[in-house]
Amino acid sequence: MKVVYVGLSGGVDSSVSAYLLKKQGYKVVGVYMKNWSQDLPGFECPWFEDYQDAKRIAVQLELEFKMFDFETDYKHLVVDYMIDEYKKGRTPNPDIMCNQEIKFKLFLNACLKDGADLIATGHYANVCDGKLFAAKDSAKDQTYFLYRVSESALTKTLFPLGGLTKPEVRKIAKDQKLVTATKKESMGVCFVGKVGIKDFLSQYVKTKPGPIIAGSDPATGSDPAKYEQVVGQHDGAIFYTIGQRHGLNTGGGKPYYVTGKDMKTNTVFVTTKLNDKNLWTSKIYLIDIHWIGRKPIKDEVLHVRLRHQAPLIVVKKFTLSKNKASFELENEERAVTSGQSAVLYAGDEVLGGGIVV
């Protein structure tokens, strides 16, 4: 009998994953990963509640239960990375880094060392022979967050929910009377529950107000003297992303959209024009490329996804080098942001991707 260590987060998805694996005949061990436990002013970290729910599921399903503490590694590998990226004016995705460094590296190795043959999580994705494929439920598919997982890790991984929809998962949980059946999904930053990214960053980064300028972004080579006007004041350029509309203190009138920011001068640039050239691009440049297995083949039909649950975009042309790539899109895409991930698909297969520059 193969031994599977399931990452129990205290949510319904991992709970149903554990139930399904036990039903399939595996010896299942439930493991709660303690990644973050710090409270923030006005926000209580929900880790202990999640831990208790994970433990309740283990008791209900009669599973051996463990807790692995990765908090020190998590702070260094995920949280510090995210803060550093924001300081540089980029927009990182901590969930992707968490999967790469914690769940499918540290957690996997710890489980294998402890006696596991395989690990499993509640992600909506499919895996076969070390290859990653999209989930049945396109509305819940999480392969965007998994593109940096290694092929070797995927050969040791099970995704029990890959062939199910979220309503089907909820139904299984309710039919089996699992204690997490009606638990709501956590929102916000992956490791601090209901805390928004701005509230979180404010605890770790010193910011100061600066101008919001309607006009040209010097990054395009325009003459700063041609700035049209200062239309407001922001509370820290670090908090703003390309294409952002809400949260801009510009008063009434037409809505403004962020077109760029200068971290050195603490300036945010905006426009009222949705067709502003700084908001749109048809060419994406990537660094820090990761291929799960094979690289894309010449003339292969490819699609790229720029955000979780965003539509797949047709790749018209691509160029690869050692650790860089460029993709020419069939149509212009709005608000492509430095630091975000671009994930490449060939049909349902996830080939890999990289970081936008």
Quick: pLDDT tens for 58-88.
999 999 999 999 999 999 999 999 999 999 9
Summarize the chain as % helix, strand, coil (round to 5): 30, 30, 45
pLDDT at 192: 55
Active site residue 128: no
- Tell me the C-alpha distance between 177 and 171, whole Å: 10
Active site residue 98: yes
- Token pair for 118: 């395989």
pLDDT at 43: 80
Considering 45, 98, 111, 128, which one is annotated as catalytic?
98
The order of strands in the sheet holding 229-234 is: 229-234, 210-214, 267-271, 257-262
For 290, residues 6+ apart whose C-beta sits below 8 A from its C-beta are: 147, 148, 352, 353, 354
The structural domain count of the chain equals: 3
- Tell me the C-alpha distance between 70 and 9, whole Å: 14
The reply to whether 100 and 217 lie within a common domain is no
The reply to whether 133 and 246 lie within a common domain is no
The reply to whether 193 and 232 lie within a common domain is no
Q: Which long-range contacts (CB under 8 A, 24 or more apart) does 246-249 make?
A: 247/198, 248/212, 249/212
> Bridge-partner residues for 158, per DSSP?
120
The reply to whether 146 and 228 lie within a common domain is no
Give me the domain span that covers residue 53: 3-200
The reported pTM is 0.93
pLDDT at 221: 45
Considering 45, 111, 128, 190, which one is annotated as catalytic?
190
> Residues of 64-83 as b/e, b for ≥16 C-beta within 10 angstroms?
ebbebebbeebbebbbebbb
Domain boundary among 185, 200, 215: 200
The ranges of the chain with pLDDT < 70 are 187-194, 216-228
The reply to whether 195 and 211 lie within a common domain is no
Give 27's DSSP letter. Answer: E
